A = this chain, B = another copy of it.
Amino acid sequence: MIKAGIIGATGYAGNELVRLLMGHKEVEIKWFGSKSYIDQNYADVYQNMFEIVEDTCLDDNIEELANQVDVIFTATPQGFLAGVLTEEILQKTKVIDLSADFRMKDVNVYEAWYKIEHKSPQFLEEAVYGLCEINRADIKQARLVANPGCYTTCSILTAYPLVKEGLIDPNTLIIDAKSGTSGAGRSAKLANLYCEVNENIKAYGVTNHRHTPEIEEQLGYAAGEKIVVNFTPHLVPMNRGILVTEYASLHKKADGTYPTYEEVKAVYDKYYKEEKFIRVLNKDVCPETKWVEGSNYVDVNFKIDTRTGRIIMMGALDNLVKGAAGQAVQNMNLLFGLDEAEGLNLVPMFP
């Protein structure tokens, strides 16, 4: 059995990680780290785990933890892992980081968007960006995996084949994203109160949301050049789910016409047909967050508008699964040579 430790086990992503790992045949959780609830029963913090998890919460002593486990998941605030990570830790254990600390290669970009100093930039080069369907080979060899953001996973996977194959102009890309409220975390803030979120929708982080450079970097690799995009997140009155609606100008073909549905579909299929967790929907079916809830799927589809010369791409995932804990488990499976889907054969729950 693989021994796992979680730092930040009492956030929503941490709790989801516990849920998934409890159903994973090859893993046992040895450390439920939670700074805020040290010595309390984990099941008192998350009553869903009553009679399932018997452990009490431990602190965030990552050096000690590295001695005890084979893999550490950090579901922690930005800056935590960068502040404590050492070569020694990485020599003892694998680390899968659900924060943004090692997602970007350029420390200046990190510091500019996150407004904090990066304390261990020496690991940036080594860290592998854990978007499994794109970086599978590298992940298998990694010691340190930077698990992608929830918006980012959805935004990138929805557009990736078309950027990679040059069907769209990546600098025309506009990503309008909509997220459930669990993405805002479990801290007690007025803006996240039920009565403030319910029966309401709003944009936030307009022009400056921190997932923007992460999207730009990864899609830039696909495009083979630096790109800039517009990314606008919105808060939706629901618990889980992210939907992205992406707009881009299609390149015309040599004959002056736009690519057909079949041509675009073939490009998506080239990259995703064999991917278990990416479902390219049937023609004219729009992704809905409810159809992937509780599962590790990303549903994608698109529609061509020859009137405006644009393509509208859509993608949906569960922000706590494929957008966080599920992808972390998928990365773990890759790191340890397990079946990539172990623990992730989750049928979406409806309704």
Question: B49, A347: Cβ atoms under 8 Å?
Answer: yes
Please state if A202 and B288 are interface contacts (CB–CB under 8 Å).
Answer: yes
Name the residue on B nearest A247 (C-beta): B174
CB of B351 within 8 A of CB of A240, answer: yes
Interchain CA distance A18-B195 in the complex, whole Å: 18
Name the B residues within 8 Å of A195 (CB-CB).
12, 181-182, 186, 192, 239, 351
Contact of A347 among B23, B47, B345 (CB under 8 A): B23
Whole-angstrom distance from the CB of A46 to the nearest CB of chain B? 6
- Does B178 lie within 8 Å of A279, measured CB to CB? no
Copies of this protein in the complex: 4
Q: Are A347 and B198 in contact (CB under 8 A)?
A: no
A200 to B231 alpha-carbon distance, docked (Å)? 21
* In the complex, chain A residues 191-225 whose Cβ is within 8 Å of any chain B Cβ: 192-204, 206-207
A299 lies within 8 A of chain B by Cβ: yes
Interface: A308 (CB within 8 A) = yes
- Tell me which residues across on chain B come within 8 A of A49, comparing CB atoms: 347
- Residues of B with C-beta under 8 A to A22: 347
Q: Do the beta carbons of B46 and A350 come within 8 Å of each other? A: yes
Q: Which of B202, B305, B350 contacts A207 (CB 8 A)?
A: B305
Among B182, B348, B351, point to the contact of A351 (Cβ < 8 A).
Answer: B182
Q: Which candidate, A81-89, A158-166, A290-298, is the interface stretch facing chain B? A: A290-298
Question: What's the minimum C-beta distance from A155 to chain B, rounded to whole angstroms?
Answer: 14
Write out, one digit per residue, whether chain A residues 217-258 have a CB within 8 A of any chain B CB (1) or not (0).
000000000001110101011111101010100000000000
Which of the residues B186, B239, B282, B314 comes within 8 Å of A203, measured between beta carbons? Answer: B314
| Given contact pairs A48-B291, A199-B289, A206-B303, a sample of 12 additional A-B residue pairs in the complex whose CB atoms are under 8 Å apart | A47-B288, A48-B295, A50-B282, A174-B174, A182-B195, A194-B198, A199-B293, A201-B236, A207-B304, A207-B312, A228-B308, A294-B349
The 7 closest A-B pairs by CB, nearest first: A200-B290, A195-B351, A48-B348, A202-B288, A194-B197, A176-B176, A207-B305
Q: Could you name 27 residue pairs across A and B whose Cβ atoms are closer than 8 Å?
A: A19-B348, A48-B290, A48-B350, A171-B308, A181-B198, A186-B195, A187-B190, A188-B188, A194-B194, A198-B238, A199-B238, A199-B351, A201-B236, A201-B288, A202-B287, A202-B288, A203-B245, A203-B286, A203-B312, A206-B312, A206-B314, A207-B303, A207-B305, A228-B307, A230-B312, A294-B294, A294-B349
